[in-house]
Amino acid sequence: MSEFIHLTSKNHSLIIKSGRTPEVLHWGAKIASIDEDLLLSTERPISQARLDVDVPLSLCPELGSGHFNAPGIEGHRDGFDWAPVFNTVRVEANTTYLEGQDQQATFVLEDTVAKLELTVEIRLDYESDVVQKRVTVTNKGDSKYYLNKLSSTLPLPNHANELITFHGRWCHEFQTQRQRFEHGGFMQENRRGRTSHENFPGMFAGTQGFSEQNGLVWGFHLGWSGNHQMRADVRSDGRRFVQAGELLLAGESILDPESTYQTPWLYGCYSNSGLNGIAQRFQQFVRDNIIQFPTDKPRPVHLNTWEGIYFDHKPEYIMQMATEAGVMGVERFIIDDGWFIGRDGERTALGDWYLDEVKYPNGLEPVIEHVNQQGMEFGLWVEPEMVSQDSNLYRNHPDWVLGLQGYHQPSGRWQYVLDLQNEACFDYLFSRIDSLLTTYNIGYLKWDMNRELVQPGHQGKPAVHGQTQALYRLVDQLNQAHPKVEIESCSSGGGRIDFEILKRTHRFWASDCNDALERQAIQKGMSYFFPPEVMGAHIGPAECHSTNRRHSINMRGVTALMGHMGVELDPVKESQQEKQAFSHYISLHKQFRHILHSGRSFRMDPADKNQNIYGVQNDDEMLITVCQLAMPEYALPSPLRISCVEDNALYQVKLVEMPQTSFQLMKQRPQWLDKTLTLSGDNLKEIGLTLPILDPESALIVHLKKM
């Protein structure tokens, strides 16, 4: 029985066969114990016209062993040692079952010919059932080893025959596509130097037709903020796997003797209850292991000035905005781009992180004091990784730009990327941001990053890996120096959203698009991996600045209050009616924030494909939103059947929010809309609530409380 390592969590088992190389035999439902005959029952046949030996699908597949799909490691030593074959030399495993305790195993493998050592770490989180895996390679030879690729591999069962992957662009993040997964496979590569809008490093594989509520599903996410490769392959024998790792540029990882390279963490989880189980497990893992909020306060409601004033900064007017924000119930007021010297538009001054004394002749202190007097924290926008060509920093230090000598580098948003591996540049950036946080009562930084990396060279060599690690180091040092300051990760919206950057930040700006209809899809995709309290979601102007589409305050308010809520507009210019509506939705968010920011998220499979039904529940309460995305499919909506209730429990059911325009669509409306009902769980689950007719692009909210 020593051939098997059995990792267990609250609900799941991960069984690894520890032979020449480690191989996962089972990853899924919890198994009580391993039978004596499991080794015999899992022995594979060897077919004709193939290799004479069985080729395991190991945790690091090897080309040299006859794995003809993507190997886990690729590299060479001056053209030699390009097909390594490893043997396990040591196994360390913590598999003693103690309730609440995580389990893990470490496998050390070596190739004495290629003079390489691999360390494979795999962990199983007890509470969330999430698997973490990473691989480290060490050069044990006496010459350089040119590493081209090192990835983490996790297997899938043969009945996982459909994939959902992610794509997108600016203002259109977290879009999904579904495809069959039976022959060949899928691969995405990201070379943009950040997590990217286009290729979020996550995917799902599952049984045919898996949905929000049904099916067996395996979910994956690579926690890395730079370039990446992610693929799902089906071998010709039917076995299949997911593989992910950093995409290394040519020559980016050259290992000197005894030096190492370590992959980012690959995170995975299994669900027998569709995508809801995946989302709940990833969200719980993030809450338990990654985010580090102050424990003494809820997530504050924001007002960000960007779409309200852009670069037009007048301190007196900004204080008017703060006054109005305070009246509406805002708890954190953030001044966005345009506060620093010479920053009158997007073409100038990035890198010159000094207050513009022309715009702020009395300094920033009066504004901050006024914000604090309204009962709000103060936050400030920065973009430390960037420099404008028209800036004092660029004029004095053009050599600080990340790039390649001899080539013209295209700018992005009229700016360049600073080389964070240049220690003088790194020290300057730390000193400037540190000075701002020391000088002013700033409780929050919106940390932006508005372009991709082109020609990302440090001293002529490819440097995305080093740039990403230096970014982490910069944020970590600022966190250490200012532990009470919270940081938002923004990258032209949702261009840098991943588990690794979240370890050192506190919130994501999900998208630069505040269009509520677009946000329904963006926030849906993001919610499979991240809990609502880190998903920045703002009420924007009635006419969206990024789409020119108009939405009612109902649609905007309901969409925003289901995340980490904020407002992004100029409240001074809004009508009294609009401001009252903002206050209403902020109040609703605060009323239910204890559910939204600690509960279990779930989605339903609506009969109407033009509906999005999303909810969050804790032990006693539940909040459900029904959003009509487009024209209803049918004249009458299907009942809202709520599956995540207890059959024998009684629930108070109350409509919290509904668009007023819907009343004109009905000669008769469901009577329960005006009452508080008492219904049993089995009634809610099997019969459900009759929904009112909704206009396209409108939403309602229902609250349930267990009696």
Q: What is the pLDDT of residues 467-478, one digit of tens each?
A: 999 999 999 999
602-706: which CATH number, 3.40.50.450, 2.60.40.1180, 3.40.190.10, 3.90.550.10?
2.60.40.1180
Compute the average pLDDT of residues 430-453: 99
Taking only the tens place, the pLDDT of each residue in 442-462 is 999 999 999 999 999 999 999
Question: Does the structure show a pLDDT above 50 at 485?
Answer: yes
Is the confidence at residue 72, as pLDDT, over 80? yes
H/E stretch holding 570: none
Sign of the four-CA dihedral 621, 656, 685, 615: negative
Average pLDDT over residues 550-578: 98
Spatial contact of 490 and 447, defined as CB atoms under 8 Å apart: yes
Asked if the model's pLDDT at residue 579 lies above 70, the reply is: yes
- The pLDDT value given to residue 1: 37
- Span(s) in the chain for CATH 3.20.20.70: 304-598
Q: Is the CB of residue 137 less than 8 Å from the CB of residue 160?
A: no
The string of pLDDT tens digits covering residues 138-168 is 999 999 999 999 999 999 999 999 999 999 9
Stretch 326-344: mean pLDDT, rounded? 99
Sign of the dihedral through C-alpha 429, 434, 440, 442: positive
Which listed residue (512, 515, 570, 608) is catalytic?
A: 512
Instruction: Provide the pLDDT for residue 35.
Output: 84
pLDDT-wise least confident of 219-228, 293-302, 304-313: 293-302
CA distances from 474 to 192, 265, 290, 381, 491 (A): 20, 20, 18, 16, 16
* Pairing outcome for strands 386-388 and 415-417: antiparallel
Residue with tokens 């923004």: 490
Per-residue model confidence as pLDDT tens digits over 78-102: 999 999 999 999 999 987 777 788 9
Identify the CA nearest to 149 among candidates 40, 227, 242.
227
Distance CA 32, CA 296 (A): 40
pLDDT at 74 exceeding the cut of 60: yes
Residues of CATH 2.60.40.1180 domain(s) within the chain?
602-706
As a whole number, mean pLDDT of residues 494-502 equals 99
Q: What is the pLDDT of residue 54?
A: 85
pLDDT value at residue 673: 94
pTM of the predicted protein model: 0.97
d(CA 540, CA 515) in angstroms, rounded, equals: 7
Q: Is the C-alpha dihedral spanning 354, 356, 361, 362 positive or negative?
A: negative
Look at residue 296 in the predicted model and tell me its pLDDT.
76
CA dihedral over 506, 511, 516, 520, signed as positive or negative:
negative
pLDDT top residue among 295 and 649: 649
* 266, containing H or E segment: strand 265-271
CB contact at 8 A, 340 and 313: no
Query: How many separate helices (H) and strands (E) can be counted in the chain?
Result: 13, 38
Sequence ranges of the chain with CATH classification 2.70.98.60? 4-289
Residue 683: pLDDT band by 50, 70, 90 thresholds?
very high
Query: Which of the residues 448, 498, 515, 570 is marked catalytic?
Result: 448
The CA-atom distances, in angstroms, between 376 and each of 300, 312, 327, 383 are 9, 22, 11, 23
- Listed in sequence order, the residues at least 6 apart from 201 whose beta carbon sits closer than 8 Å to its beta carbon are 190, 195, 221, 222, 224, 228, 230, 244, 498
Active site residue 448: yes
647 noted as active-site residue = no
CB half-sphere exposure, 70, CA atoms < 13 A:
26
Residue 120 has pLDDT above 80, yes or no: yes
- Give the pair of three-digit tokens for residue 521: 């899809």
Average pLDDT across the chain, whole number: 96
Give CA torsion, residues 177, 179, 183, 184, to 10 deg.
-10
CATH class of domain segment(s) 4-289: mainly beta
Residue 183: pLDDT over 70:
yes
CATH class of 304-598: alpha beta
Question: In 476-513, which positions are buried (b, 16+ CB within 10 angstroms) versus exposed (e)?
Answer: eebbeebeebbbbbbbbbbbbbbbbbbbbbbbbbbbbb
Which DSSP symbol is given to 693? P
Which residues are paired to 255 by β-bridges? Answer: 145
157-171, 322-336, 588-602, 657-671: the lowest-pLDDT one: 657-671
d(CA 153, CA 57) in angstroms, rounded, equals 9
Element (H, E) at 320: helix 315-328
d(CA 205, CA 528): 13
Structure confidence at residue 661 (pLDDT): 79
Q: How much is the pLDDT for 2? A: 52
Strands (E), 393-494: 415-417, 444-447, 457-458, 461-462, 486-489
Determine the distance from the C-alpha atom of residue 421 to the mean position of all C-alpha atoms in its chain, rounded to a whole number.
26
**Spatial separation of the C-alpha atoms in residues 499 and 526, rounded to whole Å:** 12
pLDDT tens sequence across 619-663: 999 999 999 999 999 999 999 999 999 999 999 999 999 998 777
Per-residue pLDDT for 275 more than 80?
yes
- The CA-atom distances, in angstroms, between 159 and each of 56, 240, 444, 525, 528 are 18, 10, 47, 24, 22
